[in-house]
A and B are shown apart, each in its own frame.
Chain A
Amino acid sequence: MTTPRLLITAWPHLAERDSTPRIMWTVNLTLIPVIAAAIYFFGPSAVLVLAASLAGCLGTEWVFKGRAALADGSAVITGLLLGLTLPPGIPMWMAFVGGAFAIGFGKIIFGGLGQNIFNPALLGRAFLQAAFPVALTTWPVIRENWWALRGDNLALPLMSPREVDVLTSATPLGLMKFEHQATGLGKLLIGATGGSLGETAAIVILLCGAYLAWRNYLNWRIPVSIFLTVAALATLTHAINPAYPGALFMLFSGGLMLGAVYMATDMVTSPVTNRGSWVYGFGIGALVVVIRLWGGLAEGVMYAILLMNALVPFINRATQPTVFGTRTAKETT
């Protein structure tokens, strides 16, 4: 018997098959149905916007971290999620700039994967919202002709988009807030409303989220506590003043689904403790309702999540698990 060249490694000598790239790519895969819904509703515009924001993210990651960094799939998530938060009619160059900002200032500047404080996709969107407020709040309505662009997607860089002949309308939340006009729940559920690419198809997003939760790739406590908080507060405010929308409308309109399932649950920027996840979800839910009802904006999911992202280190610190035996150790001394 010849002696093999023995390897020495530390225990444990077994490892779970999950890996960080596997988690990231699975999240990407579950976004496919959401993207498909976006393309169904918004046609070629959806493809163009998503491609542009993806290119912005991947390009920036590639420039600063090299090609190998693209393989972990995290930049793809940022690109897709950013694209899904944008209106279908936005010029491609803006989406590209948003993607570059998301990765550059949302992630690279903090040291890359795992180091960032804020959700990069939302940071990119917040930047676009501040830089191009008009383009970010122009919502085309569903077109008869699927092939038609929903806006001047092809505007030249740094040019303002042409006034194209599209019908625009407010989002359901905008209609509610500024015109006190409710949108039917059925429309909201399937997503046949005006809004961002991923503000639609609530059911699809929920199903994908349920799958991710089952795989333990997202902490179910976060979306559940967001939904419960929003539902409870909306029911309460609706009971006090019926002019405010009810729970179902609040849950299924705007970016709440996408935000609660895909953005708030970003592992890097959400609490590590389960107790903390409840607190964090509650905070997001409460802020969403407050901003939507009393803020100057129709939609509040983005800022709610970004604000709570900033509080995550404190939430973590305050919700450390109780170490086994420390309670009994106190009792005995």
Chain B
Amino acid sequence: MRMKFSHGVHPPELKALTEHVRIRRLPFPDEVVLPLSQHTGKPAKPIVRVGDRVERGDKIAEADGFVSSPVHASAAGTVAAIELWPHASGVFQESIRIAVAPYDAQVPRKRIIPDWRGLAKEEIVEQVRQAGVVGLGGAAFPTHVKLVPPKDTTIDTIVINGCECEPYLTTDHRTMVEYPDRVHLGTRLMMKTLGVDRAMIGVENNKPDAIERLQATIPEDLKGKVTVHGLTVKYPQGAEKMLIKSLLNREVPSGKLPMHVGVVVHNVASVATIAEVFETGLPLVERIITVTGPGVRRPSNLIVPVGTMTKDLVAACGGLTDTAREIVFGGPMMGAAQASLDVPVMKGTSGVIVLTDAEVKPQQSYPCIRCGHCLDACPVFLNPQILGQLALYERYDEMNEHHLQDCMLCGCCGYTCPSNIPLTQLFALAKAQLRRAPKAA
């Protein structure tokens, strides 16, 4: 039985620039900037002072509560400042700036790497938490939280998200092709902690080499328990709810989480990172990232220290072309444009895309002609047409009645609108306005 989610859009894939480019390691930059808020939840609290010498992998900020995550030094050096710095969210945020020690071997401190075979569930979760692992797909939700489901929920399936449905990005693709064993080890650890014996890896069919590699490397004892599934190439196949619908034909109830239908979804890169933590003992201090787009001279897949600034990334990729005009963190469908080349890569930054004048040419907006294309695109079956009209008149409360809160801002409506109405932007704005001024009860 072939299942898939309904609606969605088919943007050009644009992955050819980097999909077969081997991951290479970036030399350490002169400086790294580590924001205290790289994850969903409360920002971490710094535990170092300006002038302190730190080694690579040292914890420099402690998690503040359960839904939070610690931050580690991604390079050896001295703490140059703890200050406000340009952040990928578009505002300045408290960050720890480390001047990287030149000519340093960048060898992390010796540490005991516990053997996962001998660890209890709780100990594995604690290791993941201490390593500062968060979702690497973009939302950066602390991973350990998803490994401890509430008592009243039963999880029967782990879904590993290798869809990478965003155009341009090849981070997950290369991870699956080059580190399939890590994906399987991470999956095994998750199955162990959650006590689940079924894991499904979903990969879009435009990555046949990844599907093949993953299938060929499933460990003997996991055969039958871990399965790899090729999925229709359609955006947003990698959205949690869509992926669960495609793989299991379960519909996550409105306002609920995947665990309410017995599923936990993890990004494939996060899973590989968990494995890495137990292989090397190093916390999450580096990640794989795609630097691509027509505005960069040498599109690449890179392993970079978390906190590497955009200018260093771009320089490592041959620099910007003369027509480069917009720098996007994440995919082109949901990524945020950046105002400065000083913005550092964070744990959840899956790609840096440089667009040129040709792609970002402002388009004239026309009135809505009620073509209904947005309704056919919306993967959660909203009516973006009526929502858009309401948003233009700032009737935000009425938008809630039209299920605005079910909108995941995936960008399908804005992508498809022939009148170039910035629907997705209007909905993001409406949500922000509603959060700011909650309706008086």
Contacts and interface: CB of A to CB of B under 8 A. Distances in A.
Interface in B420-437: 420, 422, 424-425, 428
Interface size class of B (residues with CB under 8 A): 35 or more
Contacts of B371: 23, 267, 272
B303 interface: no
Nearest to B353: A13
Contacts of A274: 372, 375-376
Contact of A114 (B260, B367, B386, B409): B367
B332 A329 contact: no
A272 B373 CA distance: 8
A145 interface: no
Interface stretch (B140-148, B204-212, B264-272, B336-344): B336-344
Contact of A216 (B338, B373, B422): B373
A12 B424 contact: yes
A20 B364 CA distance: 10
Given A14-B359, A114-B369, 10 more contacts: A1-B314, A6-B326, A10-B428, A11-B332, A11-B414, A12-B334, A15-B417, A267-B372, A321-B375, A321-B382
Contacts of B428: 10
A1 B414 contact: no
A23 B339 CA distance: 35
B313 to A, nearest CB: 12
A9 interface: yes
Interface string B299-339: 00000000000010011000110001111100011111111
B363 A15 contact: yes
Contacts of B281: none
A325 B406 contact: yes
A272 B402 CA distance: 15
A273 B333 contact: no
B255 A329 contact: yes
Contacts of B260: 332
A12 B328 CA distance: 10
A112 B372 contact: no
A5 B356 CA distance: 11
B375 A272 contact: yes
Contacts of A22: 418
B367 to A, nearest CB: 4
B372 A10 contact: no
A22 B419 CA distance: 10
Contacts of A72: 366
Contacts of A331: 253
A113 B367 contact: yes
Contact of A325 (B12, B252, B418): B252
A7 B325 contact: yes
B280 interface: no
Contacts of A11: 328, 332-337, 409, 411, 414, 424-425
A145 to B, nearest CB: 43
A268 B311 contact: no
Interface in A7-33: 7-16, 18-23
B295 to A, nearest CB: 8
A4 B419 contact: no
A332 B256 contact: yes
A320 B383 contact: yes
Interface in B347-363: 353, 355, 359-360, 362-363
Given A320-B383, A321-B382, A326-B403, A13 B332 contact: yes
B381 A10 contact: no
A115 B334 contact: no
Rank and list the top 7 A-B pairs by shortest CB-CB distance, nearest first: A12-B411, A114-B367, A10-B425, A329-B253, A325-B254, A324-B380, A272-B372
Given A272-B375, A321-B375, A19 B420 contact: yes
Interface in B228-257: 241, 251-256
Interface residues of A, number: 48
A328 B370 contact: no
Interface string A243-273: 0000000000000000000000001101111
B403 A15 contact: no
A219 B372 CA distance: 9
Q: Indicate the member of A6, A11, A322 with the most B CB atoms within 10 Å.
A: A11
A3 B341 contact: yes
B132 interface: no
Contacts of A327: 251
B425 to A, nearest CB: 4
B369 A268 contact: yes
Contacts of B414: 10-12, 15
B418 A18 contact: yes
B167 interface: yes
B368 A114 contact: yes
A52 B241 CA distance: 55
Contact of B252 (A9, A12, A316, A328): A328
A141 to B, nearest CB: 39
Nearest to B325: A7
B371 to A, nearest CB: 4
B382 A323 contact: yes
Nearest to A325: B254
B385 interface: yes
Given A1-B311, A20-B418, A324-B254, A8 B326 contact: yes
Given A321-B381, A324-B241, A324-B406, A8 B419 contact: no
Given A13-B355, A20-B366, A272 B385 contact: yes
